[in-house]
Structure 1
Amino acid sequence: MSAANTVVELGGRSLLLDKSSFCGGNSTKATSGINGAGTKTQKTKSIPDNAEIFIADTLKGGAKKPELAKVLCANSAADVDWLVDKFDLDLSLVARLGGHSQPRTHRGKERFPGMTITYALIQMLEKVAEKTNRARIITKAEVFKLVQSGRAVVGCEYRKAGKVVKEFGPMVLASGGFGADFGSDSLLATYRPDLLHLPTTNGEHCTGDAIKMGEAIGAATIDLEWVQVHPTGLVKPDDPDAKVKFLAAEALRGVGGLVLDANGQRFCNELGRRDYVTGEMWKNKPPFRLCLNRAAADEIIWHAKHYTGRGVMKFYPTGEDLAKDMGVPIQTLIDTHQKHFEAAKKQEKDRPDAIGSSAFSSVLQTCRLDACADPDGGPLPAYPSGKTWDEPSGKTGSGKKFFHNIIDGSKVASEPFYVAIITPVIHYCMGGLECTVDAECIDKTGKAIPGLYVAGEAAGGIHGNNRLGGNSLLDCVVFGRVAGKAACDLAVGMRMGRMGWVKREVLHGVTKVQENQANMVNTI
């Protein structure tokens, strides 16, 4: 949708094919938000973030290709602002997710941010399709083959209602990963058979179609073995073995949610990398619970009530009720929260943004974080850097450094909680078709395949061996925009050249002309 809307903005025409009966895919399920460094929203909140800090966090988080990480992060502010300005979206709330040194994950006050963003993009493209000939959307259309002329991709074939149809033009592949590809000959079985027993958050459409079609014409793949297992799949008590599970947004931990083992103890840094939190869960005793106190739940109440309505989260009037349901002494929960509270208070002296959003905002008005922080505070190693006073996470080597919406242990017995049972789930495929900074697919010799572009989860190499929360929607928007522009450039070049494929280097001047044609579409 980002690619198609970008093509339309640049004065081109787009055809969007989706094998499902409706558009949206997994993007509508994205629950935490979209990252942006240096956005208008951040500036209004005096958050001192920029592309350089974001790039460093992304590379430390697992990315291995600095040139792709730079595109992702450097474009983030402009592209998040594009969503807000062009589509009139509410992305006014900002949270800090695991692996991020700054609060930069944007969401709105209501609904899941993936749903909000994707529906807005869909509705705009539908409006363009209704009022102009610039866009078409065809659902229940399963693309199964790329059409080539020499090395170049010049179109595709798809099946709809028992018929095979051909369409021509540059192709942008954006069909997601293979997190629901459970067949014996699937990509999951080939590259990560050890994960086949796990449930997934992916829709059944996620079977790696784009990757398989690209491979069929010699496109290179990368990092297919890196499949992200998310630590917080939601377990429905009356259907605990369901293969497809709802996802608990990482933002639930960002606002202060704690992860407890079967004994009511914390055992990890809730804001650590996803692979780290999952790894610590494997080492400890299930069932695991994600617990939000009143302040944390109030900050993300739409999510909490939605999950409760779905039967995958439960409201407890008091901590006493929670302890009874868990089968642990209330004193255990009191002690667990008290240790967390005391660690946060000690850390507060080192990181003045440590406690609560109001304190965070007020301190930032008068003091830069990097000037106030004491990297030597605490006796244990912290993530992403520095030291921590938090013993349960610190002893894992990846200690908690940022604390939010903490409560004193003495309040636990009478405090209300929103709580969910959680389990690791297959969530995201970091690997996919290898691409350039212009979203061009490349072959096994490293040369770009003319006419073939990739964006979103189908693209590999952008996140390395671990994706940070909030970078998925961003990946879709940034590389969707990049791919849409590159495909539009190429289509214009083909028309201007009239003789096969024109080198992209000569097309950028033409793009300026196309940008001037966007005004008509933007008035719809």
Structure 2
Amino acid sequence: MSTRVIVIGGGLAGLSAALEAHAAGALVTLIEKETKLGGNSAKASSGMNGVQTASQHMLNISDTKLQFMEDTMASGGSLSDRHLVARLVEDSASAVEWIEQQGVPLRLVSQCGGHSCPRTHRIAPDEFGRAAPVGWGIMSALQRKIQGSDITVLLSSPVKRLITQNGRVTGVQLGDDQVLQTDAIVLTTGGFAGKPVHGDNSVLNEFAPKTATLATTNGPWATGDGIRLGQNIGASIRDMDKVQVHPTGFVDPKDPEATSKFLAPEALRAAGGILMNQNGLRFTNELDRRDLVTDAIFRSCEDYQTDRNKTAVANLILSQEAVNNYGPSTIQFYENKGLFRRYSHVDDLAKAMSLDPKFLDYQLKQYDHHAEKGYDQFSKTVFPSRMSDSSAYWLGKITPSRHYTMGGLRFDAYGRVLKETGPESYEPIEGR
């Protein structure tokens, strides 16, 4: 008889787990609390990190697993689990390859913040300059695979609790009290960086209340349900107060106080976008780690007061070269939504920023001067595009936004959720 597997959560991790379990011969049920699959994965826009991939080789990008390991460990400070990082790095190329095998070519490789070389893969623009958003492209392809299989998909089906027997997980109880028995459960329910949930059970308010006043790039579904499910059967948690704030959430001029922000992806800065404060001055290495760029925005940029709270706002500027690097059609998409505005001359850009045109032109020329030297006052060494004498400029407003929760259920390098059995001692919570 085939093994029964229940996957809880319909984002990229959930669909990947469901497809792989199905390929291994399991009877798979995929459960999603929302009315459709996708989650935050469908909103992703910068790409997927991988080392020694086919695309890197094709583009003659020299990268090593050690470099990727060191970059990741440095980004996590003293908190990163070396065993988990090693597994992430070791499996990264095969993960990118697996996505490509599902029909999603990830041929464009960028150097994003915190990385010492280009290794962030996304979908390249087509011959007409049109680029599919990488998250949407991946999720659409995987959903087609799911629809073409005999995987059972339950939508609008929140899980109330995990059922255990003699310390083993044997099933789930849904919100309508329906009980499903299973041999194994894969929890892929995501984090808790969505809008704060009011009440005693709010994961965000309990563990990271200081970030609750920020806007979020997440959908409202990101409430930490799976973490609560695990806690309720004795699973250990870790790093729950570590919530990543993305430095660049778009401020929509039509609704600047919106608590949900459209992400201005890191790939915009990887293409050459620069950040300036209200005085027309750069204040950071745009390709530094997200936490460092975020801190620099809070230090160097003026606050925008809303009815709810105040938040720092910076200017994100792209030249024509940066737009060409990123993909003109996608920039047009942002422009159509009112998140970017195009200016045909530096004088027009300066007017929009309430700056002297000669001063702004000088600052852009200084940036290009540093680019020629390969180094600037913020230790930036990668300059993807020139900024001065551009045939056009694009200007958007951005603000730091709650983006990603680093903590959650404790698990090992095999993906097994762990429970604490003693001081610094853990063991897996088994299935049937």
Alignment TM-score, normalising by the size of structure 2: 0.88
- The number of residues matched between the two structures is 393
- What is the percent sequence identity of the aligned residues? 35
> Given the alignment, which residue of 371, 380, 390 partners 2:376?
390
> Given the alignment, which residue of 414, 418, 431 partners 1:442?
418
Following superposition, the deviation at residue 289 of structure 1 comes to 1.0
Which range moved further: 54-63 or 143-152? 54-63
Aligned equivalent of 2:47: 33
Aligned equivalent of 1:47: 61
**2:409 counterpart SS class:** strand
Residue 35 of structure 2 contacts residue 155 of structure 2 at CA under 8 Å; is this kept in 1?
A: yes
Following superposition, the deviation at residue 98 of structure 1 comes to 0.5
**2:381 counterpart SS class:** coil
- Pairing 1:149–2:162 present: no
1:5-84 → structure 2 map (5 Å cutoff): 5-62=19-76, 64-84=80-100
CA distance in 1, matches of 2:333, 2:81: 37
- Pairing 1:97–2:97 present: no
Bigger relative contact order, structure 1 or 2, given CA contacts below 8 A and separation 6+? 1
Following superposition, the deviation at residue 332 of structure 1 comes to 2.3
Residue 315 of structure 1 contacts residue 416 of structure 1 at CA under 8 Å; is this kept in 2?
A: yes
Following superposition, the deviation at residue 167 of structure 1 comes to 3.6
CA distance in 1, matches of 2:231, 2:343: 51
Aligned equivalent of 2:314: 288
Aligned equivalent of 1:195: 211
> Given the alignment, which residue of 106, 116, 133 partners 1:112?
133
**1:148 counterpart SS class:** strand
Aligned equivalent of 2:380: 400
Following superposition, the deviation at residue 126 of structure 1 comes to 1.2
Listed as ranges, the gaps of 5+ residues in structure 2 are: 1-14, 126-130, 303-312
Q: Structure 1: which amino acid aligns with 2:376?
A: D
Residue 263 of structure 1 contacts residue 328 of structure 1 at CA under 8 Å; is this kept in 2?
A: yes
- Pairing 1:339–2:333 present: no
> Given the alignment, which residue of 159, 164, 167 partners 2:178?
164
Following superposition, the deviation at residue 50 of structure 1 comes to 2.6
CA distance in 1, matches of 2:360, 2:397: 16
Q: Structure 2: which amino acid aligns with 1:321?
A: D
CA distance in 1, matches of 2:195, 2:230: 17
Residue 232 of structure 1 contacts residue 423 of structure 1 at CA under 8 Å; is this kept in 2?
A: yes
Residue 181 of structure 1 contacts residue 187 of structure 1 at CA under 8 Å; is this kept in 2?
A: no
Aligned equivalent of 2:395: 419
> Given the alignment, which residue of 268, 283, 288 partners 2:284?
268
Per-residue CA shift, 1:251-273, capped at 9, x if unaligned?
00001100010111100000000
Alignment TM-score, normalising by the size of structure 1: 0.73
CA distance in 2, matches of 1:136, 1:280: 47
Following superposition, the deviation at residue 285 of structure 1 comes to 2.2
Aligned equivalent of 2:275: 259
Residue 292 of structure 1 contacts residue 419 of structure 1 at CA under 8 Å; is this kept in 2?
A: yes
RMSD: 1.3
> Given the alignment, which residue of 308, 312, 336 partners 2:335?
308
Following superposition, the deviation at residue 77 of structure 1 comes to 0.6
Which range moved further: 426-435 or 292-301? 292-301
CA distance in 1, matches of 2:145, 2:118: 29
Q: Structure 1: which amino acid aligns with 2:257?
A: D
Which structure has greater helix proportion? 1
